[in-house]
């Protein structure tokens, strides 16, 4: 018998019909009282992460809704969605995306089932997750209580201790004065580091190496945290010199199942901002890798973690690891995990939000395998001649590097695009995949060499060459060469 699908305006279309058939067959194995399909998703964000989520939704037959500020009227993420609505009229650009009442109002007026926060902006705000719940709209992420616990680095640290996960020596609660910082430094010695208690991404983070720098860095960290997160609370840790930054991708469902999807090495950073990420972690001791995975899963189970998240660790020169934080959201670098595991993390987020279990989705720990290696570089609109300060303007010429094993995630990477001074300087994420690190690095080097950009400066943080050399005992190691100035684009 032949079936004919007719596309009608406002209908779900072929993908949605296929999805409905698949879900009806699997419904018998899912808890009936929990499963609720999602028909329309809003992304409370902009740029490449909004487009990334829209694409996943379209593949699943889910209708998409974009929101945009007045300054983003012509941005690509608005055009990629099925529907788009203005928020924050009269507000500054960033403030528009932080205006919870407008976002909730648009969601309720337009039949939105779920809101995906992306990363940044409201993604780690428990009050936003709670506002979604109060409005009867699902939040694609952990529960409001879990977001609150993980967003409070001090509470997250306490939970890690209860779960038996090692932590860096630090304060048990946010400090309220310079005198407390001075007392901590006297006890543990320098260097120490200030960290924002209610946010991440390098903001509100200051390393102090001697007493004379303490007061100035305390004031700067407080001001940065207050500006970025609306709360200047800080806590202090002993600063671990030249550690590796290893993070473990976790995924949990509503039924207590938690798995890890291996780890990423995010040690290559500038001003506490990641610029190159590698999965899996390179040259990790197998026993250390197992401990990192086990600690990440144990901590997630300790808090009843649902949806996607990342548990971050520092590893010192002796191979000892320390918990630093949980990011209760999708990470910028989630791409490399997807490439090595063949798991679409946004698909998984949406399915878990609908109430499906990890086993039902085929996501069991013994089924997750690492396939090769992946590297992500962030090409940013930054001027190397001005200390990598953000550069803005119109892109006059744009040609990207492509080809087998290369994935590009972007939103404004095209000729004629206007680079705004109001947002992050990320232009495009370049992800290279191969059977091993050497293959992935070769593909990345070739792809980046093909880029041609004119009109705005492009940060050298992503223009690199990996050099693989034989090191002690014939083990492979790598080093990164940053190009201080770009070659002339022609």
Residues labelled as active-site residues: 329
Which of 290, 289, 297 lies closest to 251, judged by CA? 297
Instruction: Answer for the pair 59, 33: CB distance below 8 angstroms, yes or no.
Output: no
Instruction: Answer for the pair 260, 297: CB distance below 8 angstroms, yes or no.
Output: yes
Instruction: Answer for the pair 81, 53: CB distance below 8 angstroms, yes or no.
Output: no
Distance in angstroms (rounded) separating the CA atoms of residues 247 and 262: 9
| Contacts within 8 Å (CB) and 24+ apart, 413-419 | 413/379, 414/76, 417/76, 418/74, 418/393, 418/394, 419/381, 419/391, 419/392, 419/393, 419/394, 419/395, 419/456
Residue with the two structure tokens 């800080």: 234
Instruction: Answer for the pair 49, 119: CB distance below 8 angstroms, yes or no.
Output: yes
Q: What's the DSSP call for residue 239? A: P
Please give the angle made by the CA atoms of 417, 455 and 482, to the nearest 5 degrees. 110
Q: How far is CA 335 from CA 107, 179, 268, 377, 378, in A?
A: 28, 43, 17, 11, 12
């Amino acid at each position: 018998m032949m079936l004919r699908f007719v596309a009608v305006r406002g209908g779900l279309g072929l993908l949605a019909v296929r999805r409905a058939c698949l879900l009806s067959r699997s419904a018998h194995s899912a808890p009936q009282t929990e499963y609720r399909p999602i028909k329309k998703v809003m992304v409370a964000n902009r740029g490449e992460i909004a487009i990334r989520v829209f694409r996943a939704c379209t593949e699943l037959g889910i209708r998409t809704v974009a929101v945009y500020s007045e300054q983003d009227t012509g941005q690509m993420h608005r055009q990629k969605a099925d529907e788009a609505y203005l928020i924050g009229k009269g507000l500054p650009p960033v403030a528009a995306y932080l205006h919870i009442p407008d976002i909730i109002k648009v969601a309720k007026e337009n039949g939105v089932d779920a809101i995906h926060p992306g990363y940044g902006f409201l993604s780690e705000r428990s009050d936003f997750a709670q506002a979604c719940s109060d409005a009867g709209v699902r939040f694609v992420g952990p529960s409001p209580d879990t977001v609150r616990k993980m967003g409070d680095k001090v509470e997250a640290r306490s939970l890690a201790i209860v779960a038996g996960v090692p932590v860096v020596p630090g304060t048990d609660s946010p400090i309220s004065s310079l005198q407390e910082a001075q007392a901590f430094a006297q006890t543990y010695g320098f260097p120490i580091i200030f960290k924002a208690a209610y946010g991440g991404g390098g903001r509100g983070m200051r390393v102090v190496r001697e007493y004379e720098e303490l007061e100035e860095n305390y004031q700067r960290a407080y001001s940065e945290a207050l500006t970025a997160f609306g709360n200047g609370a800080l806590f202090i840790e002993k600063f671990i010199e030249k550690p590796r930054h290893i993070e473990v991708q976790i995924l949990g469902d509503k039924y207590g199942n938690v798995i890890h999807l291996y780890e990423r090495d995010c040690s290559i950073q500038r001003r506490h901002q990641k610029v190159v990420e590698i999965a899996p972690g390179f040259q990790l001791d197998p026993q250390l890798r197992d401990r990192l995975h086990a600690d990440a899963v144990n901590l997630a189970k300790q808090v009843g973690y649902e949806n996607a998240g990342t548990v971050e660790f520092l590893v010192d020169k002796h191979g000892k690891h320390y918990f630093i934080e949980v990011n209760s959201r999708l990470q910028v670098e989630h791409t490399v995990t997807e490439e090595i595991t063949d798991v679409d993390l946004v698909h998984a987020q949406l399915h878990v939000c609908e109430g499906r279990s990890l086993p039902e989705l085929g996501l069991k720990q013994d089924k997750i395998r690492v396939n090769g290696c992946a590297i992500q570089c962030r090409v940013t609109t930054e001027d190397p001649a001005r200390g990598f300060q953000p550069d803005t303007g119109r892109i006059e010429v744009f040609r990207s590097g492509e080809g087998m094993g290369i994935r590009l995630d972007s939103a404004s990477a095209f000729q004629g695009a206007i680079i705004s001074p109001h947002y992050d300087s990320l232009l495009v994420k370049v992800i290279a995949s191969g059977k091993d690190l050497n293959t992935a690095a070769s593909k990345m080097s070739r792809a980046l060499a093909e880029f041609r950009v004119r009109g705005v400066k492009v940060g050298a943080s992503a223009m690199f060459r990996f050099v693989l050399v034989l090191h002690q005992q014939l083990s492979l190691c790598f080093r990164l060469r940053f190009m201080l100035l770009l070659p002339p684009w022609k």
